[in-house]
Amino acid sequence: MEMKNIAIMGGGRLGQAVKMILEKKGAMVSIWDADTARFPNQQPLEQIIPTADAVFFCVPSPAMREAIASVTALSKAECVFVSFAKGIDGTSGKTMPELFAEMAPGNPLAVVGGPMLAEEIVMGGNAAAVIASKDGNLRAMAVALFSSPQFRAEPSDDIFSVALAGVLKNVYSVVLGIVDGMAVSGNEKGWFVAQSIEEMTAIGAVLGADEKIILGTAGIGDLIATGYSQYSRNRKAGDEIVATGTCAIPGEGMLSLPPLMERLGEKADAFPLLNIVKNICVDHALAQPALSAFFEGR
């Protein structure tokens, strides 16, 4: 198993940041994006994928099914797949590792979670990630590939918990973005962080995730990083919802809400903050009165 010749699916902010990290470690990296206007000189997939030792999927979850299908049609049987998406497949309700298990069961898989704001990485800032794989060799190789003084890489063998932690942090970072947009006190923000952590942990328990992972780098660590960051799409979505009542370009958090609610079924009723965010983001309830009433206990 090698990861010297790497293809990146997705040329957005994250794809560019990952490319920079990998090239610093001496990897040969090719990047491909569906928007050919952004990368007019990119090689076609038919040239990039067949020779790749590994494919890093830096596309959002709504695009993942198509991306996997495109790659598996061209890749080597032993090609390593690494997923950075932190969402749920809207068609099946599956997390990303579950989707890869369905569509590419023979390829070794790693899932990456944690606070990795692409803009900060590109500017030379530090970042941290949890790299999860059931394959011990792949896990060790990926951790070594990413580890540097700038980048802290933590290993895990629990790909489901790491993936679910990313889903939940995205959903609840929308909460923190909305609260931040409401310009409430720091005390009130702190209370909403506590409520978000409590519900994330409880939802993780219902769905079978490891509490330590939800409370660690891949979950709460990422929640804090993205919940209040100027670079976070989920946080910007919250601002936009407060200002306009809607969001023109939803992030992973808003997109993951409906399938997460469906996956929880009747158990979703036990999570009031989750339901309030669903009412705001999906049913278009007014954000400020809904969250203010929740804080006041009404």
Give tens-digit pLDDT for 39-88: 888 899 999 999 999 999 999 999 999 999 999 999 998 999 999 999 99
Are 192 and 228 a contacting pair, CB within 8 Å? no
Q: Choose the weakest-confidence range: 103-107, 171-175, 181-185, 234-238.
A: 234-238
Residues 6+ away with beta carbon under 8 Å from 122:
13, 16, 17, 20
* pLDDT tens-place string over residues 115-168: 999 999 999 999 999 999 999 999 999 999 999 999 999 999 999 999 999 999
Contacts of 270-277 spanning 24+ positions with Cβ under 8 A: 270/202, 270/206, 271/199, 271/202, 271/203, 273/172, 273/175, 273/192, 273/195, 273/196, 273/199, 274/171, 274/199, 274/203, 277/171, 277/172, 277/174, 277/175, 277/178
Map residue 24 onto helix, strand or coil. Answer: helix
Amino acid at 37: A
Backbone angles phi, psi at 132, to 5 degrees: -110, 135
Residue 43 DSSP symbol: P
pLDDT of residue 298: 62
pLDDT of residue 163: 97
| CA-closest candidate to residue 200, choices 238, 171, 234, 180 | 171
Q: Choose the weakest-confidence range: 104-108, 121-125, 249-253.
A: 249-253
Are 146 and 17 a contacting pair, CB within 8 Å? no
Write down the mean pLDDT value for the chain. 92
Give the domains, in start order, of the chain with CATH numbers.
5-157 (3.40.50.720), 161-296 (1.10.1040.10)
pLDDT of residue 248 exceeding 80: no
* pLDDT tens-place string over residues 162-209: 999 999 999 999 999 899 888 889 999 999 999 999 999 999 999 999
> Alpha-carbon distance 33 to 11, whole Å?
5
Structure tokens at 61: 């979850």
Cα–Cα distances (Å) from 39 to 10, 14, 48, in that order, read 11, 15, 14
Pairing type for strands 127-132 and 109-113 reads: antiparallel
